[in-house]
Amino acid sequence: VDVGVHVALVEQPYRVAGRRAPAPAKQLDAAWLAVADELGTSWFDDLPLLFGGRSSGARVACRTSAEGQAVAVLCLAFPVHPPGKPEKSRLPELDAVEVSTLVVQGENDPFGRPEAAHHRDVVLLPGDHNLKADVAAVGRAVGEWLDRVLRPLEV
């Protein structure tokens, strides 16, 4: 989807190290904020930044959005709770985001489904947590949202 933005794909440090389990939240957040700062100043000429991520990365994007001064947040497959444990909700991380947010979630995601809320759109698509059932639909949903979110930022 071409919406006229620059994108940086960032692999989280625990993945680079070959581990499957995420590092502690404070480590992930610190690493992300350092990367976002470097990208913002050295690569994107201090343009407005939109934070985004998938699963654990979506949680990081939410937790760091205020400190990193993100203008919007994109969450692909936000893990609302561990599978089978809805009492361990992670919704406070998502609810704390104060800028426009899009959550793209599989209808059968065992990690749960968030509801739309103030500043938050939720798009449910066929599939589960990996969102691979209809990748084109993910792209369309994100592209349409980016068009709405970025239009007010145009000079």
Q: pLDDT tens digits, the chain, 155 residues: what are they?
A: 555 677 788 888 888 888 888 889 999 999 999 999 999 888 888 788 999 999 999 999 999 999 999 999 999 999 999 999 999 999 999 999 999 999 999 999 999 999 999 999 999 999 999 999 999 999 999 999 999 998 777 65
**What CATH class is the domain 13-153?**
alpha beta
What was the pLDDT predicted at 29? 96
What was the pLDDT predicted at 7? 79
What was the pLDDT predicted at 154? 65
What was the pLDDT predicted at 110? 98
What was the pLDDT predicted at 43? 87
Enumerate the β-bridge partners of residue 76: 54, 104
User: What strands lie across the sheet with 72-76, from one edge to the other?
Assistant: 50-54, 72-76, 100-106, 120-125
With a CB cutoff of 8 Å and minimum separation 6, the contacts of 56 are 12, 22, 28, 79
What was the pLDDT predicted at 44? 85
The CB density around residue 38, as the number of other CB atoms within 10 Å, is 12
Question: What torsion, rounded to 10 degrees, do the Cα atoms 134, 97, 71, 7 define?
Answer: -40
Whole-prediction pTM: 0.91
